[in-house]
Structure 1
Amino acid sequence: MMPKRSVVDGGSAKYHKLTKSHDDGYIGLQFERPPPKVPYKAILLATVLFSIGTILLIIGSLLLTGYISAEYADRTWPVIIIGALMFIPGAYHVRIAYYAYKGYSGYSYDDIPEFD
């Protein structure tokens, strides 16, 4: 059934006002999620933390086992601790970014903090 129209004279053109039908003011687009915004800076930082943390952990482990002769053996544990402090958050966020890129359920780029 067509909605009723009333004719309004607007000079040289006639305008028709539509009466309110079953339109409740909502459109389907407002319920769709926008495409995810990829936090490139945060992913780059996570990759750098992961890489440097891995290198420091390997160097610290080689110093601890004696494959690299340590002139100052007291620097072994700080290298391992700093490597672990960099490796853990880097690996965590790189994993989230990888799973979000692959589209696994439960993972999205919203879980990675942005820098603005």
Structure 2
Amino acid sequence: MAYVDHSFSISDEDIMIETSYSVSNRAPVKEIAFAIVLLLFGSIFIVAGIVMATHKIGGDRAHGIFFAGLGSVLFLPGFYYTRIAYYAYKGYKGFSFDNIPSV
């Protein structure tokens, strides 16, 4: 019989170990609203920046790049936390409303 090292394996017993913190499944409304606002403004700024960079509306290429960069900075955390909130709401394993930081 071959030797199997179980010191680094993860079993159901490891997952079932009680932790010192409690998991509340109450939705943090203020934080989720902030994440959605970041997502929406980020999307709008990215689209406006791309349109400005291609000289379709006012401004020049530098303004378009700035708006697209600002939109990216707003979009990324907004998308990340909105995704966590959605998956926690749907009940996916490993996602909880506790993963969203408080504002």
TM-score, length basis structure 2: 0.72
RMSD: 1.9
Identical aligned residues as a percent? 37
Match of 1:64 in 2: 53
Write the distance in 2 (CA, Å) between the matches of 1:49 and 1:34: 26
Please say if residues 28 and 97 of structure 2, whose CA atoms lie closer than 8 Å, have aligned partners that are also in contact. yes
Match of 1:75 in 2: 63
More helix by share: 2
Which sections of structure 1, spanning at least 5 residues, go unmatched? Answer: 1-32
Write the distance in 2 (CA, Å) between the matches of 1:44 and 1:110: 15
Sort the Cα spacing of 1:92 and 1:69 in 2 relative to 1 into closer, same or farther, 3 A: same
How many residues end up aligned between the 2 structures?
A: 83
More strand by share: 1
Sort the Cα spacing of 1:34 and 1:110 in 2 relative to 1 into closer, same or farther, 3 A: closer
Sort the Cα spacing of 1:104 and 1:46 in 2 relative to 1 into closer, same or farther, 3 A: same
Sort the Cα spacing of 1:71 and 1:36 in 2 relative to 1 into closer, same or farther, 3 A: closer
Decide which of 79, 88, 96 is 1:108's aligned counterpart: 96
Matched to 2:87, the amino acid is Y
Decide which of 11, 17, 41 is 2:30's aligned counterpart: 41
Residues 2-46 of structure 1: per-residue CA shift (max 9 Å, x gap): xxxxxxxxxxxxxxxxxxxxxxxxxxxxxxx66412211110000
Decide which of 90, 94, 97 is 2:82's aligned counterpart: 94
Sort the Cα spacing of 1:63 and 1:34 in 2 relative to 1 into closer, same or farther, 3 A: closer
